[in-house]
A = this chain, B = another copy of it.
């Protein structure tokens, strides 16, 4: 993991989100429309050409790789490119987790883009959301990033497209391991659950080392 400083204040964060969140939501709408559209091929072809024009304009200045996780000087992280929660990643539903001590919850609306079997959520999409939530949940106990060691997902029955609620809870800790249980519900109840063993990297820098690294950023 790399650390990148974005030396901005809360007002500037809000100002940037006010631009990129609506743009990202628009692309989510476009994704849904491309899957479900039944318009003529000529309209689809014209859409493609116009999308390529927009993409070319956005690429005039761009980051060389992924978005990464920039931090402010007071260590507020902005993982806006994250595939599950990224406010700037149209692939993310996005999941917006809320946290208590040892408990994390989140709700998403999963439409056509998250389909597996007809009318049902792709089981792997649930695994993606579960993986994200158990990681964040482990961090509510020890405020450091955790990597997933093992994630076991048990699918109890199909999950209908639509609103899905997730809840993760820490069930124990042992040295650098944190154990987390997670459940997924659709409108009719629990559809899947999971058990995760989350691991805190041994050589992960502490807060002071991160601050020192950020201070060295030109």
Residue ID in chain B nearest A131 by CB atoms: B124
Interface 9-residue window, one of A76-84, A101-109, A169-177, A205-213: A76-84
Task: Report which of B45, B89, B112 forms a contact with A35, defined as CB distance below 8 A.
Answer: B89
Interface of A is mostly: mixed
Enumerate chain A interface residues (CB-CB to B < 8 A): 1-4, 19-20, 22-24, 26-27, 29-31, 33-39, 41, 43-45, 47-48, 50-52, 54-55, 57-63, 65-69, 80-84, 86, 88-91, 111-120, 122-125, 127-132, 145, 147-155, 158, 161
On whether the beta carbons of A81 and B35 are closer than 8 Å, the reply is yes
Chain B residues whose CB sits within 8 angstroms of the CB of A50 once the complex forms? 50, 54
On whether the beta carbons of A113 and B89 are closer than 8 Å, the reply is yes
Q: Indicate whether A150 sits within 8 Å of B154 (C-beta atoms), given known contacts A65-B119, A81-B35, A112-B81.
A: yes
On whether the beta carbons of A51 and B26 are closer than 8 Å, the reply is yes
